[in-house]
Structure 1
Amino acid sequence: MSTSLKKSAQKVQTVLNQLGFELNVIELPDSARTALEAANAIGCTIRQIAKSLIFKGKTSENAILIIASGTNRVNEKAIEKFIGEKLEKADAKFVLEQTGFAIGGIPPVGHKNSMTTFIDEDLLQYDEIWAAAGTPNAVFKLTPKILLEITKGTIINIKET
């Protein structure tokens, strides 16, 4: 672990500090770009990785953040019913414009623009979960309750069956 965080990771740490929680961003020696890489680097189960995925409303063009358990695939049809519009995959440029972070290190907080957030109900079963912190190798540990509080997200069933 390095004592000085990269700029994007430091931005996430600053936001976490401002939110009033004692959550510490750590930089891993290995990549945590994917949920599997993150779980392997941290030493937790892949299900404990809270992966932040950005989608785009087809009509509104609004960014939608879905925080999913590491093994779950997002059931886009279920989300579309919930929000009342079709979803599109967001490209790297849109993600960067909306969040201020590059794909592979999207944190659940600290985004450039506010966005509707949905949290995978499967994350609630764990005492601790891990989220990306702005770079492909920066993460932080938190609880599902804190995730809900800091994101003001809506808990829903997001996974494909």
Structure 2
Amino acid sequence: MSVDSETEVPNPVVENVRAALAAAGLEDTVVVVPDSVATAAAAAAVLGCEVGAIANSLIFECGGEPLLILSSGAGKVDTKKVARDHGLPKITRATPEFVLEHAGQPVGGVAPMGHREPIRAFLDTDLEQYPVLWAGAGSHQAMLSISYRQLLQSTGATETAVR
């Protein structure tokens, strides 16, 4: 599954995610694969896991600020529900430029950590059922594995239903 480390060119964004894992006291579980894993379905196929175990790191815009929703790849986020449940202004889809500006990572490769600045986060409680979660690690070809509790603690996310 991982690319030969001698031929792999280090990606500074992925290295930043690795540093964030270390700063959180977590093991470096980043794997780099030869094919794009920019969608939950593609990632699940490459990693051999259920699509629901993919923790999508979705950046939205909320009141002009970034909002990170860590959501199971098995469903779509109901932004109206999240906004209503947490007393937030309207949550809208962020542009790729907004995501890159605030997270420092490309859409389709956004990690739950390693952003330029801390981003307020919500964690989909549907992910708790999976013993191992997979999340983007800063590029379209990098993923990291993490437990629900580790993801909750390392991101400071608020647990919530997103559907």
Per-residue CA deviation, residues 4-55 of structure 1 (Å, 9 max, x unaligned), is 5322111111111121111321101211000000000101010000000011
State the one-letter code of the partner of 2:115. H
d(CA) in 2 for partners of 1:93, 1:37: 23
Gaps of 5+ in 1: none
Gaps of 5+ in 2: none
State the one-letter code of the partner of 1:102. P
Matched with 2:25 is 20
Matched with 1:49 is 54
Moved more, 3-12 or 78-87: 3-12
d(CA) in 1 for partners of 2:128, 2:77: 16
Out of 63, 68, 71, the residue aligned to residue 68 of structure 1 is 71
Runs of 4+ off more than 4 Å = none
Correspondence 1:36 to 2:38: no
- Contact 1:31/1:41 (8 A) holds in 2: no
User: How far is 1:83 from its partner?
Assistant: 3.5
What TM-score, normalized by structure 2, do the two folds share? 0.92
Out of 123, 133, 149, the residue aligned to residue 153 of structure 2 is 149
What TM-score, normalized by structure 1, do the two folds share? 0.94
Out of 10, 15, 27, the residue aligned to residue 15 of structure 2 is 10
Per-residue CA deviation, residues 93-117 of structure 1 (Å, 9 max, x unaligned), is 1000100011110000011122210
User: How far is 1:61 from its partner?
Assistant: 0.5
CA 83–113 in structure 1, closer or farther in 2 if over 3 Å, else same? farther
- Contact 2:29/2:146 (8 A) holds in 1: no
d(CA) in 1 for partners of 2:89, 2:33: 38
d(CA) in 2 for partners of 1:66, 1:80: 11
Matched with 2:118 is 114
Moved more, 11-20 or 128-137: 11-20
Q: Helix, strand or coil: the match of 1:78?
A: helix
Per-residue CA deviation, residues 119-159 of structure 1 (Å, 9 max, x unaligned), is 00000011101000000010011100100010010110002
- Contact 2:72/2:126 (8 A) holds in 1: yes
Matched with 1:134 is 138
State the one-letter code of the partner of 1:13. R
- Contact 1:28/1:137 (8 A) holds in 2: yes
d(CA) in 2 for partners of 1:89, 1:28: 28
